[in-house]
Homo-oligomer: A and B are copies of this chain.
Amino acid sequence: MLSTINFGQSYSAKEYKELAVESRIRLFNLQKECMEQKIPVIIYVDGVSGTGKGSFLNLLSEWCDAKHLQTYSFWFLTDEEKLRPEAWRYWTRIPQKGEMAVFIGGVYDEALRKMAGGKISELEFNDIMYERVEFERTLTQSGYIIIKLWFHLTADEHKKRMKERKKNKSEGFSSYDEKSEENYENLTSAVEKMLPLTDKDFAPWYVIDAYDEKYRNIKAISAVSSCMENAIRRKKAFETNMPVIEDETDMQAGISILDQVDLSAKVSKEDYKKQLDVLQNEIRSLTYKAYKKGISSTLLFEGFDASGKGGSIRRLVQAIDARITKVIPISAPSSEELSYHYLWRFWRHVPRAGFVTIYDRSWYGRVLVERVEGFAKRWEWKRAYSEINAFENELINKKNILLKFWLQISLDEQLRRFKEREEIEWKRHKITEEDWRNRSKAEAYKIAANEMFLRTNTVHAPWIIVSAEDKYHARLEVLKAYKKALEDKLK
C-alpha cells in the first residue's frame, strides 16, 4: 500500500501561511493545557530518510514552549545503550507528567532496520513488535499519550533526495542514512509488517505525506494536536464521570488513497470476452490445485453502491467449481447474529482447507457503515482495526489466501448507474432509498475508507483497489489479482 500511494500533496506558500498561524496557536495552547492537566505526551517522529524529520523537530521546538519539550534521537545504539536491554533507552526518556518528549526514530526504528536488512526472522520481528506494544499499553493505560508519526515518500522521490544529499554532502547525511539509502523497498516492506501489528486504538499510527515540507508540517501538527485535544477531553470526562466526546475530525485526512485512483482504464467488449475466457480457465485449474494442497481462499468485496461488486463476483463464481465455493452476502446482522460478538458471524463461514469463500461486503462494515451511521460507538470502531487485523491473521493461518477488493467508481458514474437501474425494469430491484441516502454521505464514507486502507492493509492480506469505472476492466483486474495470488501460493 505504502509503495503505491502517490505521496505528493502540497500547499502553496499562501495557504501555508494562514494554516501555520492557526496550527501554531492551537498546538501552543494545547501544550499549556496538557501541562495544567499533567498529561505527559510522547511523539515518535519516524519515517524513511529524506523526509525532514530533523526540520520537523525544529518546527516543534519553535511552535511549542521548548522548555517543556525534550527531544531524543534514537539511531544506532550507543555504547551505553548496547550494554542494556533496548527498552532501557526509551523508558529512561519518558517525560514527566505534563511534559512533552519527542522520540526521533521512535521505538520501532531499530527493529525495522534489522528486519529490512534481513538480520532477524519474521517471528523475532513480531516478538519485538509485541514487546513495544506492551510498552505503549503500559504507558497509555496510566495516562501517557503516544502519538506515532511515520513520514513517507514515493520510491522515486526518495531516491532523488538521497542522490541530492550525497552530492551536496549535506550535513544531514549521516552514516545512518548511507546504510538505509539503498533500502527503501525493504524498509517499506518492513513498515507494512509493522503497521498492522502496532497500530492500536490507544496509540495509533499517522502516516504523513512528506513530499512537501509545508503539507507535512500542517498534517503532522494536526495529528499531534488532535491527539492532545482528545486526551484532554478524555481526562476531563473521566474526572467528572461524564461521557467522552472526542473530536471526529479525521486525522488521516492527509492521505486520500481513493482520490488517487486512476479511473481511466478501459477494456473493449471484444478484448474482455477473450481475456475473461482465458482467465476463468486458468483460475479453474489453479483453484483445483489449491484445493488439493489445502490452501483456502477468502475474497472480499467492498466499494460504494453500484460499483459492480456483484458482477465481479459472478465472473469469479463462473470460474470455480461450485462444490468448493461459497458466496456470502453481508447485510444488516440477524437478531441471532446480533446476540454474539460482531466477528462471530464471519467465523461461522470460515472455509475448510482448500475451499473458496467470497464475501459481498464483509466485516469491514464495522469501520465503514457502522462508523458512518453511528451504529458502532467511536471506541468500538477505533479498536476494530486491530481486531480485524488479528482476525485476518488467523484466517490466513500462515498459508491461506485473503484478498480484499475495493471497487472504486466516481460519483458521476454512480449516478449514471443508479439512473440506469431505475429505468431498466429487471434492474429496478437493485436500487433503493438507502442507496440514495448512502450517496449523500459519500464524503464520510470516503474518509472512513481511506483510514481503513491505511490501518488494515497487511502484507498477507492486502487491499486491492480496482478502478471500476469500466466494468470490464474491473472484472478482469479482479480475476488477474486472484490468479496471481494463487500462482504465488502454489509456487
Contacts and interface: CB of A to CB of B under 8 A. Distances in A.
Contact of A131 (B123, B340, B387, B394): B394
Given A94-B341, A344-B92, A85 B387 contact: no
Contact of A92 (B347, B393, B394): B347
A97 B339 contact: yes
Interface in A76-135: 80, 82-88, 91-92, 94, 96-98, 123-124, 126-127, 130-131, 134-135
21 contacts: A80-B352, A83-B352, A84-B397, A85-B396, A85-B400, A86-B394, A86-B397, A87-B394, A88-B347, A91-B343, A91-B344, A92-B344, A94-B340, A123-B123, A134-B387, A135-B390, A138-B341, A138-B343, A138-B390, A142-B380, A241-B241
B352 A84 contact: yes
Count this chain's copies in the assembly: 2
Interface residues of A, number: 56
A37 to B, nearest CB: 14
A196 to B, nearest CB: 12
A396 B134 CA distance: 16
Contacts of A350: 84-85, 88
Contacts of A354: 83
A175 interface: no
A431 B284 CA distance: 83
A280 to B, nearest CB: 26
Given A96-B340, A97-B339, A131 B390 contact: yes
Interface string A316-356: 00000000000000000000100111111001101111100
Contacts of A336: 96
A49 to B, nearest CB: 28
Given A84-B352, A94-B344, A138-B390, 20 more contacts: A83-B353, A85-B396, A85-B397, A85-B400, A91-B343, A91-B347, A92-B344, A92-B348, A96-B339, A96-B340, A98-B339, A130-B130, A134-B387, A135-B390, A138-B387, A138-B391, A139-B341, A144-B341, A241-B241, A241-B242
Interface string A383-420: 10001001101111100100000000000000000000
A353 B77 CA distance: 14
Contacts of A396: 85
A294 B80 CA distance: 13
Nearest to A387: B138
